[in-house]
Amino acid sequence: MAARLDDGDDLTESHDINVTPFIDVMLVLLIIFMVAAPLATVDVPVDLPASTAQPQPRPDKPLFLTIQADKSLSVGDTPVARESLAAALDGVTNGDKGARVFLRADRSVDYGALTEVMNALRAAGYLKIALVGLEGAAAK
């Protein structure tokens, strides 16, 4: 009679993957990233340098939108009220929403006012906006 290889244990081989160590490692990594993420977004005051990018060629008839020191707007040389900005741009570009708008702002205009004008341009459908600065201006 052949001897039985089974010695009475009911343990059988399991062919399933044990994911418990994987879950433990993932939870530890999640906690590490949750603690480290707020530390990576600390605001640090920085004096940014001037741009050394090569100036791009200027179009034949650029469309300038100017924000003056008193936050009044001008399309080209024509003063425009903020409420009628979309209509004025449509008149100049003949409704071409793909036209690039060159945005010039006085140095004293704060960032919030500049953002409001950019939001108004986006709401009017003008998504190609170029910011204009002085060429070769050094950071002060």
Which CATH number is associated with domain 62-130?
Answer: 3.30.420.270
Q: Does the pLDDT value for residue 71 go beyond 50?
A: yes
What's the pLDDT score for residue 48? 45
Give the containing element (helix H, strand E) for 139.
none
Question: What is the pLDDT at residue 123?
Answer: 92
The residues near 80 (Cβ < 8 Å, ≥ 6 apart) are 73, 74, 88
* % of residues, the chain, pLDDT over 90: 17
125-139, pLDDT tens digit by residue? 998 888 877 665 544
Distance CA 33, CA 39 (A): 10
| Cβ–Cβ under 8 Å, residues 90 and 96 | no
Largest CA distance in the chain: 110
With a cut of 60, say whether residue 41 has pLDDT above it: no
Whole-number pLDDT of residue 7: 57
Q: Is the pLDDT of residue 39 over 60?
A: yes
Contact criterion met (CB below 8 Å) for 107 and 113: no
Tell me the average pLDDT of the chain. Answer: 79
Across 102-131, average pLDDT: 88
* Domain spans of the chain, in order of start: 62-130
- Round to whole Å and give the CA distance between 30 and 100: 44
Distance separating alpha carbons of residues 67 and 70, to the nearest angstrom: 8
